[in-house]
Chains A and B, each alone.
Chain A
Amino acid sequence: MIGVEVDELTMSYRVPVRDGGLRAALGSLVRREYRAVQALDEVSFRIEPGEVVGFIGPNGAGKTTTMKILSGILHPSSGRVRVLANVPWQRRSGFLKRIAFVRGSQPVGGSQELTVMDSLEYQRLLYDVPRAAFGRALTTLEELLRLGPLLDRQLRALSLGERMRVGLAMALIYQPEVLFLDEPTIGLDVTAATLMREFVSDYVAQTGATVLLTSHYMADVASLCPRLILIDHGRVEYDGPLAELSARLSPYKLIRIAARGDGDAVVHELGEVVESSDGLWVLRVPRDEVARTTSQLLTALEVLDLAVEEPPLEKVIDRAYREGLR
């Protein structure tokens, strides 16, 4: 069975346009003007069970819309979508029990007066989780998400990082097979974001869940997702491994070297210097010349340290967003 199957998914909707002010408000009661927005344009991809896929693209590219369709909240204008062989927007309860959609911007809903344990209990009833399975899942989650100290706290009293952990726990307590994560690390500090990434990768390793994840932080994507789907203006612009995208977008690598003595002249001769300070240089070199340049540097200079690096992912993706892939 295929985890997620999307064929020529298209979504467009109309939004009313009107000016501010009393007159415009009264006018719009009588006659409304609409503007069509094309959120998704023939998007197609498939995700095998157990795959972890990063879903990236600039703001407004259609990532969240796609996730809402895949999880059954929205009904597309056209196209064929199957998640675990179900049509998501029919929202059959058997299907809903097998998926989870967690949004970093609003990780936990429900009554904010309740404690974390109350909310988990409520999820158990709602998702008909057998007590034994609930107990097992809770033990695992307690450990992976360090939930222990949070269980007796009220939802309203949680910090952002804690809310996200609880949001994940509430979604995973019923052991969904497909997980949609929308910006799971948004607003988290470095420690919390790292914890989150470790958790997702552990969970996937343990359960074999299928994950589709959006993020604006390339660290999330780079550490979790062997495969990327880049979407822009509602169209899939790239679908493949991260390394390949990076190579395609940036035909250069960076050589970082430290050397004794005055090497400035030599270094400038061998490549484009992008950074330099007092015995340290960073060179930008075409990929196929990396080996040759490196050996030249090693012979010409008294090298203390040398490293070959991929250009920062952030910059690569930024270029893709601004200039496109073609």
Chain B
Amino acid sequence: MKLLRLLGASFSMSLRRSVAFRINLVFDVLLAFAGLGTAVAAVLLVFTQADTLAGWSKAESLVLIGTYQLITALRGTFIDPNLSWFPETGVRNGKLDGYLLQPASSLFLASLSLSSPLALIQLVPGLGVLGWGIVSAERPPSVAGLLGWLLLVAAALVVTWALSVLLACLAFWASKLQLDVFYHSAWQLGRYPTDIFSRPLRLLLTYVFPMALIASVPSATLLRGPRWEVMVGGVAAAGFAALLAVTAWSAGLRRYTGATS
């Protein structure tokens, strides 16, 4: 409860401060639209040449891009300001020391206490594309599909948070290894249906670095209806990823504070 209050306070304070920079706001809006426009254009291009992309219709692909954008926006707003370039910004400049001194969970403080509300602007065009996809679908989504989508998006957010935490935990063992660029690149693979990839890559993206869960799986659920094994799998993956993240964080912290040696 206290953590939620802290999150809310930090978000609303940052929001009030950042709208003061009108020019940055304009830039961010333009970039959000341009970025999403590029992604949509790249997919629409495909549908000028073919009716389906690896079994995905145009409407389904739009839903996928919208969902991907939604999760990317939330990540950029709540997670990236805390965990990106963590070895440098979190550990080397002493921010982590500060968190360790504060009377709240260090994992919460390090992974969620800062936010950059302007990034939430990406949500607007994302939701637009999502709506476009739903409207242009042959059949409107069922209630079950919608609920399934919501649940899987929540699971995807948990997985996103956990992946970022795991990546940041590398700082405790190999502080010179900054894999942020790699992470952001791999993230781009979530933009398209995972069905387009060759089998080994698809398996990798489903079970090891679960980009499939970020957009492909929720989108398929929204328009094609939920399948119970997918739902259970998604929730289990989220639980497992979160557990892994918490474990890695406390192990890393033990190492950082010298409790192991």
Residues of A within 8 A of B (CB): 11, 13-14, 68, 71-77, 89, 91, 93-94, 96-97, 99-101, 103, 105-106, 109-111, 113-115, 118, 121-122, 125-128, 154
Residues of A within 8 A of B102 (CB): 96, 126-127
A75 B257 Cβ-Cβ under 8 A: yes
Question: Contact at A118–B17, with CB atoms within 8 Å?
Answer: yes
A94 to B114, CA, bound (A): 23
Interface residues of B in 74-130 (CB under 8 A from A): 81, 93-95, 97-104, 106, 114
Q: Shortest Cβ distance from A104 into chain B, in angstroms?
A: 12
The B143-199 residues at the A interface (CB cut-off 8 A) are none
Which B residues are in CB contact (< 8 Å) with A101?
101
Sample of 7 A–B contacts (CB below 8 Å): A13-B261, A74-B258, A75-B257, A94-B103, A106-B94, A113-B17, A113-B18
Interface contact A125-B103, CB-CB below 8 Å = no
Q: Is the beta-carbon distance between A126 and B261 smaller than 8 angstroms?
A: no
Contacts of B101 in A (CB 8 A): 71-73, 96, 99-101
Contact partners of B95 in chain A: CB under 8 A = 109
Do residues A93 and B103 form an inter-chain contact, with CB atoms below 8 A?
A: yes
Task: Kindly list chain B residues whose C-beta atoms are within 8 Å of the C-beta of A121.
Answer: 9, 13
Residues of B within 8 A of A91 (CB): 100, 106
Partner of B258, one of A76, A93, A103, A110: A76
* A87 CB to nearest B CB, Å: 12
Does chain A have a CB within 8 A of B10? yes
B69 CB → nearest A CB, Å: 24
B17 touches A114 (CB 8 A): yes
Question: Of A93, A94, A99, A122, which one neighbours B10 at CB under 8 angstroms?
Answer: A122
Are B10 and A113 in touch, CB under 8 angstroms?
no
A39's closest neighbor in chain B, by CB?
Answer: B258
Q: Which 7 A-B pairs have the closest CB atoms?
A: A93-B103, A75-B259, A109-B98, A96-B103, A118-B13, A75-B257, A113-B17
Partner of B103, one of A11, A74, A126, A154: A126
**B258 contacts A75, C-beta separation under 8 Å:** yes
A99 to B100 CA separation, bound complex (whole angstroms): 12
Chain A residues lying within 8 Å of B9, measured Cβ to Cβ, are 121-122, 125
Chain A residue contacts of B100, Cβ below 8 A: 72-73, 91
